[in-house]
Chain A
Amino acid sequence: MADIKPVATRPLPDLTEEDTRSFWAATNTQRFVYQQCGSCGMVVFYPRQHCTGCTTGRLEERTSVGKGTIYTYSVVRQSYHPFFRTQVPYVVAWIDLDEGPRFLSNVIGVTSPDLSLIGKRVEITWEGHEGVSIPLFKLI
């Protein structure tokens, strides 16, 4: 018998990182949150403490409805990472959420990816882990 190797798992975010911990905390209730400035209206993403549009505004937390459009994608066919090497081929994509944030994630359940994926509508599907949920996407 071959050695029994520990099952490799998806790399998860550092839940203590100062700017992104509130984003990841919200995933436990399956909410995708982003920030918008109460003064100038700037949508800020990734999360920060300051508005990048003006110097005086306060950022307010908003929740996305979780739908968006594929801006661009690739299909990873080679990875040396212990988890991702078991997942190839898989789709990596920049998703433009309807509220503005552009987010890098995986689109799952795509059987034959081609250029027509760009512009396709997608929605969040949550992958649960201990202390965090990961927002993946599927075609609508």
Chain B
Amino acid sequence: MGTQVRDAAIVGIHEFPSRDVKGRLSPLHIKAQSAARALDDAGLKWSDVDAIYDAGEGGGMLAGLTIAEYFGIRPNVIDTTAVGGSSYEFHAAHAKRDIAAGKAKVALLTYGSRAHSAAQRIGVGGRAAGRHPADNLDVFAGSTLVSNYALVAHRHMHQYGTTSAQLAEIPVATRYHAMRNPEAVQAMKDLEFLDIRETTVEDVLKSRMIADPLHLLECCMISDGGGAVVIASADVARNCRKKPVWILGSGEATKYPENGGDITISAAAQSGPSAFGEAGIQPSEIDIAMIYDSFSITVLTILEDLGFCPKGEGGRWVEGGILRFDHKGGPALNTDGGGLSSNHPGMRGIFLLIEAARQLRGESHSQVPGAQLAVAHGNGGMLGSRHAAGTIILGRD
């Protein structure tokens, strides 16, 4: 680890506690409340913030213009990279780069959504024609978001022999962690989950099929929510309230349908090596894997593509509960409960950074003793067609 550069660290975090704001708060309210709590967590003030990163969910095309005014700050760096759920891993990568270049000292990332209150039928709703040439070619076919991911799962099964029982290991592990996280348990109550308890592989396989081969319990929730992350330069980080969580490496990539392409390989195969290479570590050294769990197959594919196991062997690799925080042999997966069982307001990437930071501070409800290294991998867009991937490697002192 001698080549690691520790020039930027996560110093403040906040996950907005409610998953059901009953329409009473706007995304901007959630963003601002979360930002204030994350700055408190770091021991910093609004006026310390000199760089802002925003995916545009609160301000649309002019987000870069309006969000600074809403917060009441005057940043020198404004970055509105919007790549869906992976936006926040891109933001963290850019914040490290901007801080290293001397353009900023305190970067603020925020997210707010009321996808649940607004009854957005993200998973199985209809889709609009004409936004993009590719969408205009397949709008007639009625592929839902769930079936888009299911297309990857079926091909993975065909190509590598992966089974539904193996895929079910992923939601079983995340539910195991969710049941230890009071906010996740409350989220499942607020969103009217039936039978809130630890689950088994059999439970997952008995839940109803939404789009073959994906069962209900392999699909993430749709919640309200949001959060904030503060990233600071080394000199600022040393004087913050909490121990710094260093950004050690990053990678970015996109993937899209190509004639003859392999749908089982995600953009993580491109972003992962970049991030691990910069950090100078191997996947086997990772204690905590915060992987975007929109669906079971998303995690399985990304674990393989990041190099935790050889391509195609993920199904066998996840068997036997190795992704649980109290199980040896693999990284602890999504120890907050994940999008499957804790928090998914549409773009979950910020929570991957937040829970990874909790683990490296020793603050998780499913704490891995002495956790040193974490990976946060965001996947934005749709795994079965076009998506973006952001990989961030994090480490503590």
Contacts and interface: CB of A to CB of B under 8 A. Distances in A.
A12 to B, nearest CB: 6
B211 A11 contact: no
A119 B155 CA distance: 10
A76 B125 CA distance: 12
A92 B154 CA distance: 12
Contact of B142 (A17, A73, A81, A115): A81
Name the residue among B133, B208, B214, B260 with the largest chain A CB count within 10 angstroms. Answer: B133
Interface string B204-222: 0000111111100000000
B143 interface: yes
A43 interface: yes
A102 B257 contact: yes
B133 A92 contact: no
A65 to B, nearest CB: 16
A12 B154 contact: no
A104 B210 CA distance: 19
Interface in A51-76: 71-76
Contact of B155 (A11, A75, A118, A134): A118
B158 A17 contact: no
Interface stretch (B20-28, B84-92, B144-152, B229-237): B144-152
A81 B260 contact: no
Given A10-B140, A72-B154, A118-B158, A81 B211 contact: no
Nearest to B156: A72
Contacts of A82: 126
Given A72-B152, A74-B150, A13 B125 contact: no
A102 B260 contact: yes
B140 A77 contact: no
Interface in A73-89: 73-84, 87
B124 A11 contact: no
A112 to B, nearest CB: 11
A76 B147 contact: yes
B258 A20 contact: no
A79 B127 CA distance: 11
A72 B263 contact: yes
Given A12-B129, A92-B142, A100-B259, A80 B137 contact: no
Nearest to A34: B259
B165 interface: no
Contacts of A13: 129-130, 136-137, 139-140
A105 B129 contact: no
A53 to B, nearest CB: 11
A101 B124 contact: no
Contacts of B144: 76, 78-79, 84
Nearest to B142: A84
Contacts of B260: 96, 100, 102
A140 B45 CA distance: 67
A104 B259 contact: no
Interface string A7-27: 000111110011110010000
Interface of A: 10-14, 17-20, 23, 43, 45-48, 71-84, 87, 90, 92-94, 96, 100-106, 113, 115, 118-119, 134
25 contacts: A11-B127, A12-B129, A13-B136, A13-B139, A17-B133, A19-B133, A72-B263, A74-B143, A74-B154, A77-B210, A78-B146, A80-B126, A81-B126, A81-B142, A82-B126, A84-B126, A92-B211, A102-B260, A103-B137, A104-B143, A105-B140, A105-B141, A106-B142, A115-B154, A115-B157
